Each structure stands twice: as C-alpha cells, then as structure tokens.
Amino acid sequence: MMNFNARLSAVALACACLPSLMPSLSFAADPSLTNPAISAVLDGYYQNAERPMAERVEGFGLGHTELALSANIDDMFYGKLTTVIEVADGETKVGLEEAFIQTLAMPYGLSMRGGRFLSDVGYLNNQHVHSDAFSDRPAAYRAFLGGHYFDDGVRLDYVAPTDLYWSMGVEAFKGDNMRAEDEHGEREFKSVGVYTAYTKLGGDIGVSSSWQLGLSYLRNENGRLSAHEEHEEAVVAEDGHDHSHGVSYTGENTYMADFVYKWAPQGNYKYQHLTLSGEYFRVSDYAPLDDHDHEAVDDHDTAKPDAHTGWYLSSVYQFSPNWSAGLRYGQVDTHLMHDEHFDAQKLKETEVSLAWHHSHFSTVRLQYTNQQGTNFDGITDDNVITLQYVMTLGAHGAHQF
C-alpha cells in the first residue's frame, strides 16, 4: 500500500493538476479521447430477507451493476460517464450515476467539476458502492443520503500546499432527491436546493500507518416537512421496500464528521492491512416552519426532538492476500411526524462479513446482519444473510483513500 502522502499526492494531482506534472496524471491506463478506459462492475447476490431503506430485496437479485467510460478529453479536461443497471419490482432500470467533466490545469491547487457526480461530503459517499467492504451502506447513509448521494451540480476544490494533506471544497446541486415529501404536490421547491462545504486533513504515522479526518456540512433548502399533514418520509412500495435513491429523512442542516485509519506492514497493502473508520450524522431543522418557534408536544408529553442522528464504526482486516473480514456496528435515531407530534424510531445494525478475493478484480462475500428496530418503519428484529459477488471487467481506476 502506498503511504498516505503518496496516495493523496495522486489525488492532489488529479485535483490540482499542475501543468508541469501533467505527464504523470492518469485516471486509468493511458486513457485518452481515442483510447477511453471502459469498465463494467457485475454485482449479484442472494439474500434471505430485506433491510430497511436498502435496495437489495429478498431472494436472488442484481445489485449495483455499472458500466463506466472515462478519458482525458484533452490537456484541459477529463470526463467520465457511469451508468447503473438495477432490478426493482421485477423491472430492469438503467440510471445515470455520473456524467461530468473536470478541469486538469487550473492553477493554485484549484479544480472544478460540473455535471452529475457523487458529492464529496463524508468519507464513503464519494466512493462507488462496489468498493465497500459490506453489501450495503450503513443505515445512516441509507437514511440521510439515500445510500450514496449523487446529483447534478458544480464543485470547486482546493488542495493546500501544506506538508499534511489538506483539501476543502464547496458544491451546489439541484437537490431533487433530497426534497422532503410533498404528498399533495403543492409545494414550490427551489431549483438549486442543496449546498455543501467540506474539508479533509490527513497524513502518515511512520511508514505503516495513515489517517484522515473530515468535516462536512450540507444545507438542504427543501428539507423541511410540510406543515399540518401526516407525513411518511420514506416512500415505501406496497411490499414495504423502497427502491428509490431519495433520502428517507430530511432536514435543512446536516452536519457530518468522519475519520479513517489504515495500517499495513511497511506500507505493503497487498498482503495484509487494517482499516478502521467511522462517521457521525446530525440532521436538524426538519419540523414544519409553523411549529419551528414553539415546542410541539406529542401524545406522551414529550418535547419535540431537535435532530435525527446516526453513526457507525467499522473495522476491516485483510489477514491474507485472498481473505478479509469486517465488523461494523451502526444505528440511526429518527423521528417520524404524525399530525402534530413526532414518533421516535431507532434502528441498530450489527454486521459481520467474510470476503474472498481471488484477485483485485473479483470478490465473493458472505455477510450476516442482525437488525433491531424500535418502531422503525414497521420492521421487526431480524437476521439477514447475504451472499454477494462483485466482479470488475476492463480498466478501472484506483479507489480513493
């Protein structure tokens, strides 16, 4: 494994892209407009039960199967297109996850991106889900970011010329999938609904360890609930499963903190490594404006809650070149509005995974999930077994730190 500074230098090159260093930049193996990098990711699974706010259904199914095309357009721009094929309610659907251009030669450590792309808030969100060590994103991601938040918009990034890796950025998005539910179609939503700001700081601890800390803020202009209506935030199909990428629980302000620590003997990531990570979410200001300036009391004389919260802790250990094991615990505490009161909900998930990697391009994963829901979307405690394969065809760029 390259140490943190080496890996983040590659990211800095991709973002800052100083003209003098352009020959060393590559998002894939020598990609160009006439020789684009083309890749496909095949994701299939069997699962014995469903999980709340997750896309995988009971039985056999196809997961996040994607086809990607990327290339340096010229010496000034890079472009990428990623389509996703999913099966929902017996229908095969093709979606567009990424379609963006990014600058390659802006000065002073700046870069810009425009089009449809993954937001850079948090730690996991800017990574494709097939790179995860578990079959689904943590419950907090599924509740507050729709699993992984991608949208149409623009981004400005800056990588500081410091000894430690230090980046920061701002984004503006359309925000359709982040809107609070409008049951009667009477609300006037803002056309640019989401704004984000984030910063990330990281470095090395000797030759074997590296770390990164991040803080993110997401402003959702369309995140408040409608006043004086019974509100079911999650749009649930008749079978109780939500296949959309829209968030289930919204609010005007979302605050996120994340960390990751990685260890590998002498920085050799191939044979053995450990990754510890975690994130915390706080989503506030979701009550209707009419109720914002006074305390709303529910049937049990409990004061109106002020925030949804969620967090997870994850540990993944690759103990040989071909085997890795992961342990993750997470929970979300949300509040569902009914008339003029809020019902508290809690979901806890404990997950254990064992994965076999024949190569960098193939993974077979067995995962056990114990979910415990307290008044959460009507679910009961359950044990979920998932058997999944993730296979990559063609040239595929390196995953982020």
- Let me know: does 45 contact 135? Beta carbons within 8 Å: yes
* Least confidently predicted of 169-178, 205-214, 225-234, 263-272: 225-234
Instruction: Check pLDDT > 60 for residue 292.
Output: no
For residue 209, being part of any structural domain is answered with yes
pLDDT band at 31 (very low <50, low <70, confident <90, very high): low
- pLDDT at 294 exceeding the cut of 50: no
Across 373-391, average pLDDT:
88
In a domain, 205, yes or no: yes
State the chain's mean pLDDT as an integer.
Answer: 84
388 CB burial (10 A radius; 0-12, 13-18, 19+): buried
Question: Residue 265 carries which DSSP code?
Answer: G
Give the Cα separation of 390 and 59 in Å (integer).
17
pLDDT value at position 14? 40
Inside any domain, residue 65: yes
Amino acid at 334: T
In the chain, % of residues over pLDDT 90 = 61
Burial of 376 (0-12, 13-18, 19+ CB in 10 A): buried
In a domain, 401, yes or no: no
Q: Which residues in 29-60 are b (16+ Cβ under 10 Å) and which e?
A: eebeeeebbbbebbbebebebbbbbbbbbeee
The count of structural domains within the chain is 1
How far is CA 116 from each of CA 26, 73, 80, 291, 305, rounded to the nearest angstrom? 21, 17, 10, 35, 34
Q: Is the pLDDT of residue 32 over 70?
A: no
Distance separating alpha carbons of residues 94 and 85, to the nearest angstrom: 5
pLDDT at 135 over 90: yes
The CA distance from 401 to 382, in Å, is 33
Range of the domain at 360: 4-394
- Least confident window among 30-44, 195-209, 249-263, 311-325: 30-44
Q: Which of 75-84, 257-266, 387-396 has the lowest mean pLDDT?
A: 387-396
Enclosing H/E stretch for 200: strand 194-205
Six token digits for residue 387: 């058997």
Q: What is the mean pLDDT of residues 178-204?
A: 89
Q: What is the Cα–Cα distance from 247 to 175, expressed in whole angstroms?
A: 11
Half-sphere exposure of 355 (CA within 13 A, CB side): 27
Looking up residue 255, the CATH number of its domain turns out to be 2.40.160.10
Question: Within a domain: residue 399?
Answer: no
Instruction: Note the pLDDT of residue 288.
Output: 81
Which residues are CB-contacts of 200 (< 8 A; sequence separation ≥ 6)? 165, 166, 167, 168, 212, 213, 214
- The answer as to whether 400 is a domain residue is no
Q: What is the pTM of this model?
A: 0.85
